[in-house]
A and B are shown apart, each in its own frame.
Chain A
Amino acid sequence: MNRQQDDLKRRNIRLALLFGGFALLVFATSFPFWQNIFKVLGSATR
């Protein structure tokens, strides 16, 4: 594999990780999921 292909492979993986991270961010933030988790945890400790 030559340097150019290595470089392309690296760029592909970098971009894929970027979009993967973005998808996870959407998963975690687009709804009041964590807020409610904390609410539940809060009421459970009372």
Chain B
Amino acid sequence: MSYTTTVNDPAHHDHTPTGWRRWLLSTNHKDIGTLYLLFALAMLFMGGASAMLIRAELFQPGIQLLDPDLYNNLVTNHALLMIFGAVMPAAAGLANWMIPLMIGAPDMALPRMNNLSFWILPAAGTMLILSFVVPFFPGGGTQINTGWTLYPPLSVQVGMSMDFLIFAIHLLGISSVLASINIIVTLLNMRAPGMTIMKMPIFCWTWLVTAFLLILVVPVLAGGVTMLLFDRHFGTSFFDAAGGGDPVLFQHLFWFFGHPEVYVLLLPSIGVLSHVIPTFARKPLFGYKSMVGAMIAVGTIGMVVWAHHQYTIGMSLGAVTYFMVGTIIISIPVGLMIFNFIATMWRGAMTFETPMLFAVAIILMFTFGGLSGVMLAVVPADMQYHDSMFVVAHFHYVLMPGAVFGLFAGVFYWLPKWTGHMYDERLAKIFFWINVIGFNLTFFPQHFLGLAGMPRRIIDYNVMFTEFNAISSIGAMIFGFSHLLFLYIIIKTIRGGEPATSRVWEGAKGLEWEVASPPPFHTWESPPKIGKEVA
């Protein structure tokens, strides 16, 4: 949705701080957005390296490079780095950069808290990496072989590295909640005059729902890991059956956070698509109100279906039926969003620049991941698929296109705005194709592996699974190394290139395109007045 403005940015008194103070003490939403994005990029490479080690080990049956504990430590580390280190901070980076520009606000509502939200992250990231590294030192205890779900009793028995991880999760949670509060307050209080909540750009709407989800579920995870900490060190038995506790309680607490977390990762990327597709189809977004309704429905229903991750623990028939039906119902609002994207493209004057290529790929592959999700939601079927490579294939088809490709689309879409230079379109398209082919080569065969019975989280496998695993590992290497090209394109764009206009894309609409590329250090010091709606 886009608007005309009657007052543009005055862009006066543009004093930019210099040196380390600019970054360490920054209260500027653009600088903090850049910091978030750089942090996420670093974590993406670390998480990617751990994934490539996992796939290198799985290239052949038998144990070649790693030992079972290290393998599972890498599995744990990969998930946590990607979810908490890469995707969430990258989405927060886009939010920091774009939300104030999109709503005509001079900055985030609480700029100092914004600084704090970011600078907690490197400390949390350090703790996360230490949790991986500590067991390699004398007296460092055992490795975290639990996977990211940290289920007790195993997580109670793991060495001191688990304490580092619990501390990291607390820090990451505090950072997320502070950032979410800031985003909600900014969106509710800082919109330009005339921008009613139902005129807000969809990216802002997706972040509003995401921020509410985070505030509702992150404290529950914090509670769960606090109880775990108590069980480990203070003699409590929250999750210890011998002491009257119940390990299944942790599973409920974890997945009450874990399932909405999927939507936390997905929604900001859906927001990006809601801008990319109308821009390159040169048509307004189809069904603005239904998009808003759908994402609220996804957020709401997504909060009450967590136990579909735990069908095999033995719940009552009534409970599993409820969680199965609830889960399948989510496909209705998600399907509505996909329908709206396709309807936006329908008879549009489409061009396929890199962000649009990613958008089309997302629609195809995310839908595919959603369909395997419906299969997993069905209780008797899930009893067969549970803890198999089919689940790994499913959630990577949901999260890579749904979250990461959406972020790539957002980066390519807004990179000219941020840097003032056009990126190399030819290289970006090469990156897209290598990336998408590598992704499908990696994860498509894993469906067959899972259906044939290969379990996940186990270092070795039966020789009957060799061929598909070899294909998957070759795909993973192509996929992993393709990100070096992504890094190169970004560095090249920052260093120079064809100057970008303020609008950048012919079909782009919205306040963010009214300011120069790159935007001055201070923007919208005088709020724009929103004219009549163009869309």
Chain A interface (Cβ within 8 Å of chain B)?
Answer: 8, 11-13, 15-16, 19-20, 22-24, 26-28, 30-33, 36-37, 40
Residues of A contacting B226 in the complex (Cβ-Cβ under 8 angstroms): 33
How far, in whole Å, are A33 and B238 apart by their CA atoms in the complex? 8
CB of B224 within 8 A of CB of A31, answer yes
Residues of B contacting A37 in the complex (Cβ-Cβ under 8 angstroms): 236
Of A20, A23, A27, A28, the most chain B CB neighbours within 10 A belong to: A23
CB of B236 within 8 A of CB of A30, answer no
Partner of A23, one of B181, B236, B245, B253: B181
CB of B185 within 8 A of CB of A15, answer yes
B490 at the interface (CB under 8 A from A): no
Chain B interface (Cβ within 8 Å of chain A)?
Answer: 109-110, 113, 177, 180-182, 184-185, 188-190, 215-216, 218-220, 222-224, 226-227, 235-238, 245, 249, 253, 256
How far, in whole Å, are A19 and B376 apart by their CA atoms in the complex? 35
Whole-angstrom distance between the Cβ of B291 and the nearest chain A Cβ: 24
CB of B236 within 8 A of CB of A36, answer yes
Residues of A contacting B218 in the complex (Cβ-Cβ under 8 angstroms): 23
Q: How many A-B residue pairs have C-beta atoms within 8 angstroms? Tell me.
A: 66
27 A-B interface contacts by CB (under 8 A) = A12-B185, A12-B189, A15-B184, A16-B110, A16-B181, A16-B182, A19-B184, A20-B177, A22-B215, A23-B177, A23-B215, A23-B218, A23-B219, A24-B219, A27-B222, A27-B223, A28-B223, A30-B219, A31-B227, A31-B249, A32-B249, A33-B223, A33-B238, A36-B236, A40-B235, A40-B236, A40-B237
CB of A20 within 8 A of CB of B223, answer no
Of B222, B223, B227, the most chain A CB neighbours within 10 A belong to: B223
How far, in whole Å, are A13 and B237 apart by their CA atoms in the complex? 39
Given the known A-B contacts A16-B113, A36-B238, are A26 and B215 also in contact in the complex, defined by CB atoms under 8 Å?
yes
Given the known A-B contacts A13-B110, A16-B110, A23-B177, are A8 and B189 also in contact in the complex, defined by CB atoms under 8 Å?
yes
Partner of A12, one of B110, B215, B220, B253: B110
How far, in whole Å, are A28 and B184 apart by their CA atoms in the complex? 22
Partner of B189, one of A11, A32, A40: A11
CB closest residue in chain B, given A40: B236
CB of B185 within 8 A of CB of A26, answer no
CB closest residue in chain B, given A25: B219
Whole-angstrom distance between the Cβ of B529 and the nearest chain A Cβ: 16
Whole-angstrom distance between the Cβ of A33 and the nearest chain B Cβ: 6
CB closest residue in chain A, given B227: A33
Knowing that A8-B190, A19-B180, A26-B216 are A-B contacts, what are 13 other residue pairs whose CB atoms are under 8 Å apart, sorted by A's residue number?
A: A12-B189, A15-B189, A19-B184, A19-B185, A20-B181, A23-B218, A24-B219, A28-B223, A30-B223, A31-B223, A31-B249, A36-B238, A37-B236
